[in-house]
Amino acid sequence: MFSGDRFAGVGVISVEARCSMQLNGSALVTNKAGIETAPVVKQSKECPQELAEGVRGMNLSWWLGIGQRGASLDDVRNIVTIIGVIVAAGSLAFTAINTELTRRTSRARFWLDLRDQFAKYADVHFRLRSAGDWAGDKGGPANHEEWARVEAYMGLFEHCEIMLDQGIIDESTFVEIYRYRLSNIVANTVIRREKLCERASGWKRFLALAKRMSIKVNC
Regarding pTM above 0.75, the answer is no
Q: What is the pLDDT of residue 175?
A: 96
- pLDDT tens, 21-75? 433 343 444 444 454 444 444 444 444 544 444 444 444 444 445 444 455 777 7
What pLDDT is attached to residue 151?
Answer: 97
Q: Residue 57: CB partners within 8 Å, gap ≥ 6? A: 23
Low-confidence ranges of the chain (pLDDT < 50): 1-33, 35-47, 49-64, 66-69
Q: Taking the chain, what is the end-to-end CA distance rounded to the nearest angstrom?
A: 83
> To the nearest 10°, the Cα dihedral for 199, 204, 206, 209?
140
**What is the Cα–Cα distance from 49 to 70, expressed in whole angstroms?**
27
**pLDDT for residue 156:** 97
Q: Where are the domains of the chain?
A: 4-71, 72-105, 120-212
Whole-number Å distance between alpha carbons of 139 and 182: 17
Q: What's the gap between Cα 207 and its chain centre? A: 38
Structural contact between residues 188 and 135, judged by C-beta atoms closer than 8 angstroms? yes
Contact between 70 and 79 under an 8 Å Cβ cutoff? The reply is no
Q: What is the pLDDT of residue 102?
A: 75
